[in-house]
Amino acid sequence: MKSLFKRLRTRRLASMFVLLATLTAAIVGGSFAAHGVRGQEQQNSSTDATPLKVVNSTVPPNEFVRIAKQVGPAVVNINTQTLPKQATGKGKRSFGRTQHLPQQPGDDDQQQEQDQQQGQQQGQGQGPQNWGDLFRFFGGQMPDQEGGDDGQVHESLGSGFIVDPKGYIITNYHVIEKADKIYVKLSTDPDNQDLGRPARVIGTDKATDLAVIKIDTSSPLPTVKMGNSDATEVGDSVEAIGSPFALAQTVTAGIISAKNRTIEPGAGGQFQHFIQTDAAINPGNSGGPLLNMNGEVIGVNTAIYTQSGGYQGLGFALPSNTVVDVYNDLIGSSHKKTRGSIGIRFNQGLSGAVNRVYGFKNGVLVQQVQPGGPAEKAGLKSGDIILTIDGRSIKDGDDMVNEIASRRPGSSVRLGYLRDGKQADTTVAIGDRDKVFADVGDQQAEANPDEKGDPGEVKLGVVVREISPATAAKLNTPGVVIESVRSGSYADLQGLVPGLVIVRVNKQPTRTKEEFNAVAGKLKPGDDVVFEVMDPRHPDEGINLVGGTL
């Protein structure tokens, strides 16, 4: 019985295979018939195809076309060369700065308070504090080209625009910062011209990252018109022109995404309040113009927010009103931007709790008064709350800085302030910001003429202490934590802030305060100084290198 059942099942399977084979053959045959194909004998034929023709219609030019034609001739390509002897980095970094730095001495028991303070600063015109190396100035020097002492000439590129027919050009300071030679190529210059026309530096301003350079010309050059950046609105259409990745005369468009954006905390960002845009800008666009729909320059493209090194929808341009103010000083006899100062440091972005406890809504809480500075001579003290300048109420630190910085050294202001709940006022002489902080450094150096004091504080402007065992274990390395940074000092200019941990200086371990001071004590002006620092709140990010020339 089983044998019979097996034979029947075998015959049924065989019948199914025959059926499947028949159907497959029919389908394949039908397919060949439908397509008219018989192996390789069938020839392709296109006798029934109609040739395409170009339609001779015209598209009315939009505003972006008009602006590109109007402004393009005044936008230039800037090439720089750094010679081998100067290929090592000096000054502030121009391609990436760490932003998420703790603002107070940072051992473990202070992290929650710091996180809360930083959270309160969000949405107040400031950038997030955890951008890390995502915020970049974007001169056209690519990461694999960054200067090193390798005996080679390093080239970089950027953009700029002509503002005077005699050949005066505005660009970013970081585009020409390390350059030994600067060349400018106009839109009308031939492509086979290697680098362009030699240019010389007229003046620079690190605080706003602006520079003015000049080329010689025998005939008037095309220029741009400077617009009013204060009149711009979020949502306005804008156009950017520059040379990203050496692709000259590249035009992109977008809108203004935000205004008054501060992306670098502390003194480094006091004079940089950017226009934010989503117009595509990339390495090489730096120094080029951001234009409104009237074809007027409303900003200088300066920085981008990026995870890849390229465009990600967030670009930042220094407003034209700031640019014009700085330019007019740089072309003056001193070739520098002079800013007023009263010699104080203050806390920015205070929480509402601080305001309520100290009894003020608007104003500036003085954190530190520079010894020997104008504010100290006028009787101001740490803890005072500055409320008015010449009778006008001030909103916050930015408002005060803008007001004081605009005053000429030698003039004076009347400050109204609050001390221990009582109102008072005093007259303060305005000093030159650069000289005020330089004088403070000189006074501290004179107080330690034999450098018997703290070398780290005298030479670098930083006071350190040894980190706790818990922090050392968290970072997996010993080091010293920064307790304070003197305003205007070398450490301040490099972007160091309280709370960072220094693990090495010039490759020398700084496991203790004594080791740190021993390394600092050997430094002299002109030396390259590189800090290896870690952020205790982000130990997974490892070591960041911060350096320049003392």
Which residues are catalytically annotated? 174, 209, 286
Strand, coil or helix: what is 55?
Answer: coil
CB 415 within 8 A of CB 425: yes
Residue 17 amino acid letter = F
Give, in order, the Cα–Cα distances in Å from 455 to each of 132, 276, 437, 440, 459.
Answer: 30, 41, 18, 16, 6
Rounded (to 5) percent helix, strand, coil in the chain: 30, 30, 40
- Please choose, from the candidates 402, 290, 420, the residue with its C-alpha nearest in 3D space to the C-alpha of residue 359: 420
Strand, coil or helix: what is 302?
Answer: strand
Helix (H) or strand (E) holding 404: helix 397-405
d(CA 139, CA 94): 8
CB 380 within 8 A of CB 344: yes
Within 10 A of 381 (CB to CB), how many other CB atoms are there?
13
d(CA 175, CA 378): 41
Q: Which residue do the tokens 């205004």 mark?
A: 259
Sign of CA dihedral 62, 189, 177, 334: negative
Give, in order, the Cα–Cα distances in Å from 345 to each of 133, 260, 342, 365, 383.
Answer: 26, 21, 9, 9, 11
Give, in order, the Cα–Cα distances in Å from 531 to each of 150, 264, 289.
Answer: 21, 19, 35
* End-to-end CA, the chain: 103
The CA angle 140-145-149, to the nearest 5 degrees, is 130
d(CA 267, CA 344): 11
Give, in order, the Cα–Cα distances in Å from 122 to each of 115, 125, 270, 349, 472.
Answer: 11, 8, 17, 9, 30
